[in-house]
Structure 1
Amino acid sequence: MVKAVVLGASGGIGQPLSLLCKISTLIDELALFDVVNTPGVAADLSHISSKAKIEGFVAAKGDMKGETEETETAKKNALTGADVVIIPAGVPRKPGMTRDDLFNINAGIVKGLVEACAKYCPKAAILVISNPVNSTVPIAAEVLKKAGVFDPKKLFGVTTLDVVRAETFIQDISGERNTDKVVVPVIGGHSGNTIVPLFSQAKPSVDIPGDKLDALVHRVQFGGDEVVKAKDGAGSATLSMAYAGFRFAESVIKALKGEKGIVEPTFVYLPGVSGGDEIAKATGVDYFSVPCELGPSGVEKATNILGSANDNEKKLIDECIKGLKTNIESGVTFATK
């Protein structure tokens, strides 16, 4: 039996993500929580003839910060018994807004939700989608540390959308439309210049013309801006993010169930996972997204592929690390102040 929970289930990412979870054959029980509208979302999805039993929980009316006793009870009922918790909660990006602009609002939301996870499902795998991931994952770690339940192998920053974009955008050059056959490692963080696609390590290998490489890298790094602009103020990359979040969640669940050979890039606390110390020493940061082998206990091993980067990619990695240091410090400071 696998119980999955979506925190922020009524939002632009949360609703399509919840739909994908509802139709997954890997999930037996699905609990949804948000500050508004969750019973309606759950009722709607409950009419889908699929395996998962679904229930929706909502904060007390008007309690947008989720602080009342009634809201706490709703969180408890949603989270108790959870195996996997997916957190897309937060406000979306708007035109001209960077991920850093979202920080103060989303940081507080994530902090409160992870505090509830620490109380009611301390052994669950926690998948953080809420931006800015480079800061919200360190916040989650500090909250779990304070509660005495931090398991670095089960805290994941979901960077899969960057991988999905790299796989998609390279099609115009490779001509390979079957993405199941394509692997493009994307490392670093999950915002702008901290995103480093390693096209030199793509499998199968792709010969990218020199006059197209910079534009391709930029599109992966700033693909979110492309969507925000196209939606003209009506939203951000919600549907593609829901797909990417679900894709990563399925990989985690398959690994928890014992399936072997599952490797996914994810933003993790390096000192707490096998192979992470080497990467932390090479980068000078404690959090970094690298390909990780997943297993029943979460992250089984982080793989250091930085040394295989070409000269151009090493320059991108240097820029990435500069940004990450600031992002990580912001998250830790917010959580501990």
Structure 2
Amino acid sequence: MRMSLLRSASQHLRRRRDYSSASASPERKVAILGAAGGIGQPLALLMKLNPLVSSLSLYDIAATPGVAADVSHINTRALVKGFVGDDQLGEALEGADLVIIPAGVPRKPGMTRDDLFKINAGIVKGLCTAIARHCPNALVNMISNPVNSTVPIAAEVFKKAGTYDEKKLFGVTTLDVVRAKTFYAGKANVPVTGVNVPVVGGHAGITILPLFSQATPASNALSHEDLLALTKRTQDGGTEVVEAKAGKGSATLSMAYAGAVFGDACLKGLNGVPDIVECSFVQSTVTELPFFASKVRLGKSGVEEVMGLGELSALEKEGLESLKGELLSSIEKGVNFAQES
């Protein structure tokens, strides 16, 4: 009985400490651009649940007032406001510490990758122009695909506006990490909650390179064929979901989760929590490519350190060389679009 009471008291104190630390957190405004979409809605829900968020600004071209009303009824710290249309975009962004961009359209039947690129590239360019004007010091988390091109587009827009800070612009590749962790844990038969797998390169197809040789906990149970299959499955994770949804959608829920995980890491970094490390697609000198995804240490100014690749296996070295041409082409496509349009 006494042990039960002690346990109960301990849990109560721990909850008190957790609440105190959350309530003592700095005021942080998060803006989600594309908040009424398939990714935006669950992402809005998850960020509303984050105790580090004091103000949640939800923006889209339609339907945001309803999403905002719905999410605002949840009894957590963040005050929620919905904004709709071009004339309210500035107000949505004003004073934001973190801007998350899931805006854009998913690829639909009959739509080429080039069609998708042109639509989403134009959307991203417009949103980033507004960010440069209304919250130039905010951290920007790019979810809109193709990330390998939209991040360079954002960089060019910010350069033109004179507000570019390479430490504050991130391509969200966390879903690749989430998938790699899940698939590795299942194959290696280890608890998924303790798994970590770095994923480097880019955020599409063969540009996604999971470093299973650096996975923790390490496993000797995986053959070369297993590692090849795990790598391929991680690279094709988006296609797996599209096919499972039979043409009726893409990876929205898992992407929202990944976006919330990375957003939380950025907020912790801004708040001075030490040793926050996540993989992200950023301006980089890790390879000869101008942008590259690798482990990044986050801090009060955004990127504190872009970390190296570490020791690679022969399979990973081969994958690294194979991805460079395609990734460079995607980066250049984004840069050219921003400069020409």
What TM-score does the superposition give when structure 2 sets the normalisation length? Answer: 0.90
> Kindly, what percent of the aligned residue pairs are identical?
56
Q: 1:144 aligns with which of 158, 172, 175?
A: 158
Matched, 1:332 2:335: yes
Alignment correspondent of 2:79: 53
Matched, 1:27 2:53: yes
Asked whether the equivalents of residues 93 and 228 of structure 1 are also in contact (C-alpha less than 8 Å), the reply is no
Which SS does the other structure have where 2:108 is aligned? coil
In structure 1, C-alpha distance between the alignment counterparts of 2:28 and 2:335, rounded to whole Å: 31
In structure 1, C-alpha distance between the alignment counterparts of 2:272 and 2:112, rounded to whole Å: 39
Alignment correspondent of 1:113: 127
Matched, 1:202 2:206: no
Q: Which amino acid aligns with 2:210?
A: P
Asked whether the equivalents of residues 152 and 269 of structure 1 are also in contact (C-alpha less than 8 Å), the reply is yes
Deviation for aligned residue 1:298: 0.4
Matched, 1:316 2:328: no
Asked whether the equivalents of residues 256 and 297 of structure 1 are also in contact (C-alpha less than 8 Å), the reply is yes
Q: 2:143 aligns with which of 119, 123, 129?
A: 129
In structure 1, C-alpha distance between the alignment counterparts of 2:270 and 2:99, rounded to whole Å: 13
Alignment correspondent of 1:10: 36
Q: Which amino acid aligns with 1:248?
A: F
Asked whether the equivalents of residues 185 and 195 of structure 2 are also in contact (C-alpha less than 8 Å), the reply is no
Deviation for aligned residue 1:297: 0.5
Q: CA RMSD in A?
A: 1.2
Asked whether the equivalents of residues 29 and 54 of structure 2 are also in contact (C-alpha less than 8 Å), the reply is yes
Deviation for aligned residue 1:93: 2.6
In structure 2, C-alpha distance between the alignment counterparts of 1:138 and 1:100, rounded to whole Å: 16
Q: Which amino acid aligns with 2:321?
A: D
Q: Which amino acid aligns with 1:336?
A: Q
Q: Which amino acid aligns with 1:267?
A: F
Which SS does the other structure have where 2:305 is aligned? strand
In structure 1, C-alpha distance between the alignment counterparts of 2:209 and 2:154, rounded to whole Å: 23
Asked whether the equivalents of residues 95 and 228 of structure 1 are also in contact (C-alpha less than 8 Å), the reply is no
Change in CA separation of 1:211 and 1:205 when aligned onto 2, cut-off 3 Å: same
Deviation for aligned residue 1:320: 1.2
Alignment correspondent of 2:21: none
Q: Unaligned 5+ residue runs, structure 2?
A: 1-26
Asked whether the equivalents of residues 186 and 192 of structure 2 are also in contact (C-alpha less than 8 Å), the reply is no
Q: Deviations over 1:191-232 (max 9, x none)?
A: 000000000011111232222221111100010000001111
Change in CA separation of 1:246 and 1:99 when aligned onto 2, cut-off 3 Å: farther
In structure 2, C-alpha distance between the alignment counterparts of 1:290 and 1:226, rounded to whole Å: 24
The count of corresponding residues between Structure 1 and Structure 2 is 313
Q: Deviations over 1:10-29 (max 9, x none)?
A: 00000000000111101000
Q: Which amino acid aligns with 1:189?
A: G
Change in CA separation of 1:302 and 1:99 when aligned onto 2, cut-off 3 Å: farther
Q: Which amino acid aligns with 1:295?
A: G
Alignment correspondent of 1:40: 66
In structure 2, C-alpha distance between the alignment counterparts of 1:4 and 1:234, rounded to whole Å: 30
Deviation for aligned residue 1:94: 3.3
Matched, 1:86 2:94: no
Alignment correspondent of 2:265: 251
Deviation for aligned residue 1:172: 1.7
Q: Which amino acid aligns with 2:98?
A: V
Which SS does the other structure have where 1:168 is aligned? helix
In structure 2, C-alpha distance between the alignment counterparts of 1:75 and 1:210, rounded to whole Å: 50
Alignment correspondent of 1:176: 190
Q: Unaligned 5+ residue runs, structure 1?
A: 60-70, 271-276
Q: Which amino acid aligns with 2:296?
A: C
Change in CA separation of 1:245 and 1:99 when aligned onto 2, cut-off 3 Å: farther
Matched, 1:103 2:117: yes
In structure 2, C-alpha distance between the alignment counterparts of 1:85 and 1:165, rounded to whole Å: 24
Which SS does the other structure have where 1:300 is aligned? strand
Asked whether the equivalents of residues 189 and 195 of structure 1 are also in contact (C-alpha less than 8 Å), the reply is yes
Asked whether the equivalents of residues 13 and 242 of structure 1 are also in contact (C-alpha less than 8 Å), the reply is yes
In structure 1, C-alpha distance between the alignment counterparts of 2:111 and 2:238, rounded to whole Å: 11
Which SS does the other structure have where 2:264 is aligned? helix
Alignment correspondent of 2:293: 289
Which SS does the other structure have where 2:273 is aligned? coil
Matched, 1:269 2:283: yes
Change in CA separation of 1:226 and 1:100 when aligned onto 2, cut-off 3 Å: farther
Deviation for aligned residue 1:177: 2.4
Asked whether the equivalents of residues 158 and 266 of structure 1 are also in contact (C-alpha less than 8 Å), the reply is yes
Q: Which amino acid aligns with 1:288?
A: F
Asked whether the equivalents of residues 94 and 228 of structure 1 are also in contact (C-alpha less than 8 Å), the reply is no
Asked whether the equivalents of residues 94 and 236 of structure 1 are also in contact (C-alpha less than 8 Å), the reply is no
Change in CA separation of 1:100 and 1:215 when aligned onto 2, cut-off 3 Å: farther
Asked whether the equivalents of residues 201 and 292 of structure 2 are also in contact (C-alpha less than 8 Å), the reply is yes
Change in CA separation of 1:142 and 1:231 when aligned onto 2, cut-off 3 Å: same
